[in-house]
Amino acid sequence: MDSRPIGIFDSGVGGLTVVKEVMNNLAGESIVYFGDTARVPYGSKSKQTVTRFSAQIIRFLLSQDVKAIIIACNTVSSNSIEELREMFPDIPMVEVVGPGVHMALRTTRSGKIGVVGTQATIASHKYPELLIEQNEALEVYGKACPLFVPLVEDGWANHNVAFEVVAEYLKPLLEKNIDSLILGCTHYPMLTHTIKKVVGDQVELINPAEEAAKRMEDILVKNNMTSDDEKPEYKFYVSDSEERFKEMAQIFLHKPIEHIATVPIEEY
């Protein structure tokens, strides 16, 4: 038994999709979440900058006495995971690319897999690299979709404009007859409805957050670090002001956010 919290972080609100999975499936665990709202988005930034920002966040989470960390951000997972594991060898870390790869391997029949993500995630080639390492016969097609996040954040997710943008981005992937599409960014599950309208029933959508929560559970069980608190604590930290994040988080998680504070993250 270990009642210390799990640390989860992302560039902004997107990682709440992972928080939700942990709340639902690891109900006795406390959570410390950090969203880097002052420096969001990460997907258009360089590997060095993404690694530097992530290291500051991990140092902050360690100062909050977390027992393990989930990197909810695909941009961090695909660009910086080796460096971060080297910098912080003592804390168990789960990232999201491995889980997405695992799910796609189980799902695909034709062996033709699409991956959508930020510019930095696609440029890293991490998803195709790991998939083909598992099975050389796979065909993997990546596509950066930088407009998806702003469409979601500005409330256009179900508008005709979103449909047109999704259709244009996914056209080259659909032409390759993919049967599975990895949603390689935590924001993208919020576009599921529109993406389904474009890709139809023939393409399975894969959300790595589900499997990431399971991996965290496996690690905790294996190391006797689980917790079954009846009243787990959920604490949220952001780098910009609290109001907007609190509002979005309450809508998305369907529960009141009681503990939220701003952290001067560049000092960590």
Q: Which residues bind a second copy (CB under 8 A)?
A: 37-40, 44-46, 48-49, 53, 146-147, 149-151, 153-154, 156, 160-161, 164-165, 168, 239-241, 244, 266
Cα 76–Cα 77–Cα 78 angle in degrees, nearest 5: 95
First to last CA, the chain: 29
Question: Are the C-beta atoms of residues 40 and 217 closer than 8 Å to each other?
Answer: no
Residue 68 or 84 with smaller CB distance to a second copy = 84
Beta strands in 63-111 (DSSP E): 68-71, 93-94
Residue 36 or 211 with smaller CB distance to a second copy = 36
Q: Is 91 exposed, middle or buried (0-12, 13-18, 19+ CB in 10 A)?
A: middle
Residue 44 or 192 with smaller CB distance to a second copy = 44
* The two three-digit tokens of residue 201, written as one number: 């029933």
> Can you tell me whether residue 240 is helix, strand or coil?
coil
Residue 38 or 253 with smaller CB distance to a second copy = 38
Catalytic residues: 73, 185
